[in-house]
Structure 1
Amino acid sequence: MRVVAKFGGTSLGSGDRINRAADSIAAAVEAGHEIVVVASAMGNTTDELLDEIEFDADEADRAEIVSMGERTSVRMLKAALSARGVDAAFLEPGGEDWPVVTDSRGEVDAETTRQRAHDLADTLDEQVPVVTGFLAEDGEGNVTTLGRGGSDTTAVMLGSYVDADEVVIVTDVEGVMTGDPHVVEGARNVAEITVDELRNLSFRGAEVVAPSALSYKDDDLGVRVVHYQHGDLLTGGTSVTGQFDHLIDMRESPLACLTVAGRAIRNRPGILSELSNALADSDINIDAVASGMDSITFYVDEDVSERAENILHQEVIDAGSLSSVTVDDDVAVIRVTGGELPNQSGIISEIVQPVANAHIDVHDLITSATSVAIFVDWTDRERALKIIQEKFQQ
């Protein structure tokens, strides 16, 4: 089996932990597996180096400085592997075999990186490469970086490009947990999670796998998260399944847009719950919710809009601090989902602007970490759908 094993800063935070990492790599090699190692900077080295730059350094100098953390890690790991009789070599920007290249915009040059990764893969039956995570080099050989979480990106990208069977992210948690074990009691490990679920959690604060890394995962590449104390690269932890695909979906039936306005929206705890529960108690499903400073909008099936209006109107009367409820019928929704959305600067504008240029009014826009929902008049739905589809077929 071919495995890319990425060791996070915490898992390399001391000599003892480096020994643990080397033991797990050596055991996998002894079992006959081909291993690529990606190493983060030891502990909090990168942050500490950045904190010490109290002068006006340009990007090139900053990249060189912060690269010292990863450069130290790969040397430590290579030495620990050599002490165990494993033929290993460290790879860093500027080296002859360095794989990760960025273009003039600072983004990964996929074609060049893929070719270099293929060359690297040809050596895996002879040697274990220990690669600096987070770092890259540009076309002139200058050190560049892949941004926050870049070591995860290095690992999953290389996993894809060297045709690995699995990428193992070694970190300081048991995998993906049901909650933060430092905050909630009884948090337990999740055996399996989809890329969509994990990416949404990552964009909302879960520090497990960097969101930028997951866009390189496909159905054929396994990704697993394990604790550094586990000691086995090939078992345990949380498996991440699936891949990101752009999906453009238009709801087949019209929605009604019900807006409740009033000062209670911003100063009364639980008001959203009260209004939502009132609809739920009458078996009315809410397709989407949007909120403003003094209003909440519910999108429901148009065929239940009259009943929903009466229910919400009663809530307005009972609350006293709510002003009114209004209804707008014949609303269509088109949803765009995909793992690449958060990585594309200006993507919201690129989706919405062509629709506006066609003189189609956008009633509402609701976004999440990996999706965009666009609400337009029901009569404009086919034109809007075609415009959005054309954007992603380019």
Structure 2
Amino acid sequence: MRVVAKFGGTSLGNGERVNRAADSIAAAVEQGHEVGVVASAMGSTTDFLLDAITFEADDADEAEIVSMGERTSVRMLKAALSARGVDSVFLEPGAEDWPVITDEHGEVDVEATRTRAQAVAEAYLAKGIVPVMTGFLAQDHAGNITTLGRGGSDTTAVMLGKYMNADEVVIVTDVEGVMTGDPRVVEGARNVGEITVDELRNLSFRGAEVVAPSALSYKAADMNVRVVHYQHGDLLTGGTRIEGQFENLIDLREGRLSCITVAGRAIRNTPGVLAQLTTALADADLNVDAVSSGLDSVTFYVDADLAQEAETVLHDTVVGSDTLSSVTVEDDIAVIRVTGGEIPNQPGILRQIINPLSDQHITLHDVITSATSIAVFVDWDDREEALRTVQQEF
């Protein structure tokens, strides 16, 4: 099996942890696996270097300085592997066979990186040699050092895993994997054995520091990605497995929706209002397609065939509440959803969708966003023109 293992800063935080990392790599190699390694800067080295820059440094100089953290890590790991009799080599920007290339805008040059990553796989992995590569760092076509931004080492690992045709990418970090909740806050948090890439992307963009969102965009459907704790000691088992890949889709829901809005001037200051409304719908076995909220209202989108029953249920809740004042229904709504892993990384993506619809004089009833999708609600009669307009933009 071909594995790319990424070791985060905490997992390389001192000599003991470097030895633990080297032991796990050596064990996988001894079992006959091909292993490539991506290394972050040891501990808080990058923060230390950035804090030490108390003068006006340009981007090129800053990149050179912060690169020293990763450059040190790969040398440490390579030396530890050599001490265990593992044939290895370290790779960093400037090396003839360095794989990660960026263009003039600082974005990854996909074709150049794919070609060079495949060459590294053939030169080292296929021959049983462990390449230990700097995470986070890249170089442009002129040979200047560039960086991949926050979470760049995760991005390096998953991207190279994809382009090297790895069977699995293992993110070695200081958490047990994806947890049901933050163990520092909630009691009884436990490891989630499996999670989809869409679920994790949404969690990552909302504060869960497990795998960098930018890395997940590179995950292929046939490549496993796992997150394990550095104390686990085994690269090939345990942790949380991330399933699937992002699909870029523009989808028009087939059936009509109805929009049911519940108003109440004290909604925003009254805990439990949303739970009260959704519980009433759930008890009536009524499914909700989407929910949006304002300062004084909550809107539910439901299948048009369920609208009358849903309105009755919500009206009963309104009548029995001191917080809520009224419920109203608007029929013949259509929804178009744009889904894709790169959505959060595209500046102006909402404008790219909304402005063309406005130019066509298509009224928007609502726009609901998440980390991986944008849902646009329009009149049912405008649905086909709205779909064509959005498709033309993507």
Normalized against structure 1, the TM-score is what?
A: 0.95
Matched, 1:92 2:102: no
SS at match of 2:281: helix
- Paired residue for 1:274? 276
Q: Name the CA distance, whole Å, in 1 between partners of 2:241 and 2:30.
A: 24
Which residue does 2:200 correspond to in 1?
198
Aligned mates of 2:189, 2:173 — CA distance in 1:
17
What residue identity is the alignment partner of 2:87? D
The residue number in structure 2 matching 1:363 is 365
Q: Is 2:383 the counterpart of 1:388?
A: no
Q: Deviations over 1:335-366 (max 9, x none)?
A: 12221212222222222222222221111000
- Cα RMSD of the aligned pairs, angstroms, is 1.6
The answer (yes or no) to whether the contact 2:25–2:35 under 8 Å persists in 1 is: yes
305-314 vs 6-15, greater mean Cα deviation:
305-314
Hey, what does 2:23 align to over in structure 1? 23
Map 1:220-239 → 2, pairs under 5 A? 220-239=222-241
Instruction: Figure out how many residues of one structure are paired with residues of the other and give that number.
Output: 392
Q: CA deviation at 1:384?
A: 1.2
Q: Cα offset for 1:168?
A: 0.9
| Contact 2:270–2:323, Cα closer than 8 Å, also in 1 | no
CA distance in 1, matches of 2:332, 2:110: 44
Q: 1:4 aligns to what?
A: 4
Alignment partners' CA distance in 1, 2:343 and 2:323: 39
1:36/1:128 contact within 8 Å kept = yes
Could you tell me which of 332, 335, 341 is aligned with 1:330? 332
Matched position secondary structure for 1:200: helix
2:133 counterpart (131, 134, 145): 131
Percent identity between the two aligned chains: 73
Instruction: State yes or no: 1:52 paired with 2:22.
Output: no
Residues 1-394 of structure 1 correspond to what in structure 2 (within 5 A)? 1-124=1-124, 125-392=127-394
Q: Secondary structure at the match of 1:260?
A: strand
AA matched with 1:148? R
Return the offset for 1:101. 0.8
C-alpha contact (below 8 Å) 1:264/1:271 kept by paired residues = no
Mapped partners of 2:210, 2:310: distance in 1: 40
| Residues 90-110 of structure 1, C-alpha deviations (whole Å, 9 max, x = no match) | 111112121111111110011
State the SS of the aligned residue for 1:131: strand
Tell me the distance in 1 between the aligned counterparts of 2:268 and 2:320.
17
| Counterpart Cα distance in 2 of 1:371 and 1:299 | 16
Alpha-carbon distance in 1 for matches of 2:21, 2:318: 61
Whether the aligned pair in 2 keeps the contact of 1:133 and 1:154 (CA below 8 Å) is yes
Residue 126 of structure 1 deviates from its aligned partner by 4.8
For structure 1, the 5+ residue unaligned runs are none
Q: Conserved in 2, the CA contact under 8 Å of 1:174 and 1:237? A: yes
- Match of 2:155, SS state, is helix
Displacement, 1:280? 2.6
Indicate the larger mover: 317-326 or 203-212. Answer: 317-326
Matches of 1:267 and 1:391 in 2, distance apart? Answer: 40
CA distance in 1, matches of 2:311, 2:192: 40
Mapped contact 1:365–1:373 kept (Cα < 8 A): yes
1:269-301 superposed Cα distances (whole Å, 9 cap, x missing partner)? 111112222333333322111111122111122
Q: Secondary structure at the match of 2:341?
A: coil
Looking at structure 2, the residues matched to 24 and 201 of structure 1 have their Cα atoms a distance apart, in angstroms, of: 29
After superposition, what is the alpha-carbon deviation per residue over 1:282-340, rounded to whole angstroms, capped at 9, x for unaligned? 33322111111122111122233233334333433433443433221111111122212
CA contact (8 A) 2:226 2:240 kept: yes
CA distance in 2, matches of 1:272, 1:258: 13
Counterparts of 1:267 and 1:174, CA distance in 2: 37
String of CA shifts for 1:236-285, please: whole Å, max 9, x gaps: 22221111111222222211112222321111111111222233333332
In 1, the alpha carbon distance for the partners of 2:189 and 2:273 equals 29
Structure 2 contact 19–80 (Cα < 8 Å) conserved? yes
Higher mean displacement: 48-57 or 95-104: 48-57
CA contact under 8 A between 1:153 and 1:213: conserved in structure 2? yes
Corresponding residue SS for 2:320:
helix
Q: Match for 2:24: what amino acid?
A: S
